[in-house]
Amino acid sequence: MIELYVLLIFMIIGAIVAIEMKDLLSSVIAVGAVGLGLSIVLLILKAPDVAITQLVVEILCLIILIRATLKKDLPFSTTGRWLLNSLITTGFIVVFLFVAIKAFKDLPEFGYPIMRVANTYLKEGLVKTGASNLVASVILDFRAYDTLGEATVLFTAVIGVLAIIRRIGRKKKDEVVEEDDE
């Protein structure tokens, strides 16, 4: 289990580097490193489906972010009321940590989960659905409504992006109206 702790500490250091860097391109690359570390941790925790999905989704997210921030980074500085803002934020995070640690005492110990429903899925998954990959049988047969909801959310997000970027009917003095519809 020691590799789990080492990788988690690597992810935390990567997140701190991503927050504190002034250059935008370097912060995006540091977030990419955090995502790759997360993919390896998921593999150690015996979840190969989730690890594959996390890896490819994180690569696409990096590509979209780098395309948006290229040539646009501006250095900035924090001015005015810096001490008060920092104190309030740190106070809020300390209260949040305290309440969360009290809530963690009710969780079962790490490595011994209570699997009330999942035992049924593990025992009867192969007989009832015929699939060898039990995670696929859970998302597409036992819990197919969630997958339908997820497809709807993805569809709505694509429509939302197309609606924001689209540019119809905006005419300034010398500007040509560009109809960019799909």
Partner 1 sequence: MSKEHDKGMSLIVKVITRLTVGLILLYGIYIVLHGHVSPGGGFAGGVIIALSFVHLFLAYGKDVALKKLPKTAMSFFESMGAILFLSIALLGFTGGYFFLNFISKGEPFRLFSAGIIPLCNIAISLKVGAGLFAIFVVLVLLKFEWEKKE
Partner 2 sequence: MIIYLLCLILFCCGLYCILRKRNIIKIILGIIIAEYAVNLFFILVAYRMEGRSPILSSEVEIVNMVDPLPQALVLTAIVIGLATTALLVALAMRIYEKYKTFDITKIKELRG
Among 23, 45, 95, 177, binds partner 2 (CB under 8 A): 45
Contact 31, 18 (CB under 8 A): yes
93 binds, options partner 1, partner 2, none, Cβ within 5 to 8 A by partner type: partner 2
Query: Per-residue string for binding with partner 2, 67-106, x by CB under 8 A?
Result: -xx--x-x-x-x------xx--x--xx--xx--xx--x--
**Cβ-based burial of 51 (10 A; exposed 0-12, middle 13-18, buried ≥19):** middle
Contact 37, 12 (CB under 8 A): no
Kindly determine how many residues on this chain lie close enough to bind partner 1 according to the rule CB under 8 A. 40
The identity of residue 83, as a single letter, is L
Q: Which two tokens stand for residue 179?
A: 């109809």
Nearby residues of 24 by Cβ (< 8 Å), 6 or more positions away:
69, 72, 73
Instruction: Give the whole-angstrom CA distance, residue 154 versus residue 118.
Output: 27
Instruction: Give the whole-angstrom CA distance, residue 13 versus residue 16.
Output: 5
Of the two residues 17 and 62, which places its CB atom closer to partner 1 in the complex? 62
Give residues 59-88 in contact with partner 1 (rule: CB under 8 A): 59-60, 63-64, 67-68, 70
Cβ neighbours of 153 (radius 10 Å) = 9
In angstroms, give the least distance from the CB of 131 to partner 1: 4
145 binds, options partner 1, partner 2, none, Cβ within 5 to 8 A by partner type: partner 1
Residue ranges that bind partner 1, judged by CB under 8 A: 48-49, 52-53, 56-57, 59-60, 63-64, 67-68, 70, 126, 129-133, 135-137, 139-141, 144-145, 147-148, 151, 154-155, 157-158, 161-162, 165, 178, 180, 182
